Amino acid sequence: MSTLIRFNKPFGVLSQFTDADGHPGLKHYISMPGVYPAGRLDHDSEGLLLLTDDGALQAEISHPKFKQRKTYWVQVEGVPDPTQLKSLRNGVNLKDGATLPAEVKQIDEPNLWPRNPPVRFRKTVPTSWLSLTIREGRNRQIRRMTAAVGLPTLRLIRASIGQWTLDDLQPGQFAVEDIHRPVDNRRLPDTGSGKSTKRSVRRPGNQGSVPKKSTSRRNPR
């Protein structure tokens, strides 16, 4: 059995346990021993970060060869036109090569927590929200993609990775799940070869060992 943590990473927090360059690390929120991030999220991005104590599961979540679906809510400067959306869907040419096609659509502003610090707007330029799903993980890929089509990113929230979503986690909160994975077929739970059991939700400043028998709230999807 493996442990998986869903963490809503706040703006400005690093995807590592140690502090660096004036930014706090995960140790200020999660003190469970033996868990490590499965992938990363830039300090100026928010939302879902997964951690686990299972090295194989960590690789299956984060390694590019598994092409896990990652969905982001992106606030951009400007209003996208059909040509810009088509460019994102077809793949964007970046300095390190063309991206894979993305799933993208314009959405209403999500019901989100206020960002600290607030996003800096230009009063004369409207903003829009996109839902953008990719299967890659290049450095600052979403920001580079939207900038390449003329829609600079102002705010970036990762909403899901594979089958795991933010649900109702607020910034700094995390939820713990037990992942039951067959020893002879160690693949991701959403392949049908494993099951997950949610254990608890922890809030900022309430660190330490996680109770083994508790339940967390879950929003309908």
* pLDDT given for residue 195 in this prediction: 63
Active site residues: 42
Q: Which amino acid is at 184?
A: D
Tens digit of pLDDT for each residue in 28-58? 999 999 999 999 999 999 999 999 999 999 9
69-161, CATH topology level:
Alpha-Beta Plaits (3.30.70)
Q: What is the mean pLDDT of the chain?
A: 86
* Consecutive H or E run containing 180: strand 174-180
User: What's the CA gap between 115 and 118, in Å, rounded?
Assistant: 5
User: What's the CA gap between 65 and 7, in Å, rounded?
Assistant: 23
CATH architecture of 2-64+163-202: 2-Layer Sandwich (3.30)
- Model confidence band, residue 80 (pLDDT cutoffs 50, 70, 90): very high
C-alpha distances out from residue 12 to 42, 94, 146, 191, 212, Å: 8, 26, 21, 34, 30
C-alpha distances out from residue 1 to 5, 11, 66, 143, 165, Å: 13, 31, 21, 36, 21
* pLDDT given for residue 67 in this prediction: 86
User: What's the CA gap between 32 and 44, in Å, rounded?
Assistant: 24
Rounded mean pLDDT, 16-33: 96
pTM of the model: 0.85
Which segment, 3-7, 134-138, 178-182, is predicted with the most confidence on average?
3-7
* Consecutive H or E run containing 9: strand 2-9
- Model confidence band, residue 11 (pLDDT cutoffs 50, 70, 90): very high
* pLDDT given for residue 196 in this prediction: 65
Q: Give residue for tokens 């599961």.
A: 57
CA 190 to chain centre: 17
Give span(s): CATH 3.30.70.1560, the chain: 69-161
Q: Is there a cis peptide before residue 117, judged by omega within 30 degrees of 0?
A: yes
User: In this predicted model, which residue has the larger pLDDT, 69 or 211?
Assistant: 69
Give span(s): CATH 3.30.70.580, the chain: 2-64+163-202
* pLDDT given for residue 23 in this prediction: 97
